[in-house]
Homo-oligomer: A and B are copies of this chain.
Amino acid sequence: MIKFVVHNYENYQLLKFDILEGVMEPSELAQIKIPELDHSKGIIISGRGPIWLYAFLTHCLHPHPWLAIYDPRLNGAVVIERHSKKAPKVGNILMIPT
């Protein structure tokens, strides 16, 4: 079971997930319901989960102007795609409150 929380900031949204009991099966992917988001803003994904979950979320969140992945080892979020010239560049590390 996965639970999402959305935090809204002026320039982006933070989508945090939590896997209840720490374990997720691949078969759960197809049932995931991502909460409603503002598609005009960039999005940062954060949470402890398998790489295939992140890849799935990356695909689902493609409509956003930019997407970044929070990496606790960097204390920041790495921009991995952008669809707007105003967006931060791919490879940039965004320092965010978490």
A91 touches B54 (CB 8 A): no
Complex contacts, A41 vs chain B, CB 8 Å:
none
Cross-interface CB contact of A56 among B26, B56, B89, B90, cutoff 8 Å: B90
Q: Is A15 an interface residue (CB 8 A)?
A: no
Interface of A is mostly: mixed
Q: Is A27 an interface residue (CB 8 A)?
A: yes
Q: Is A74 an interface residue (CB 8 A)?
A: yes
A interface vs B, CB < 8 Å?
26-30, 45, 50-52, 54-56, 58-59, 62, 67-69, 71, 74, 78-81, 89-93
Chain B nearest CB, measured from A30 CB (Å): 5
Cross-interface CB contact of A52 among B28, B69, B89, cutoff 8 Å: B69
Assuming the A-B contacts A92-B26, A93-B26, are A78 and B52 also in contact, with contact meaning beta carbons closer than 8 angstroms in the complex? Answer: yes
Chain B nearest CB, measured from A89 CB (Å): 7
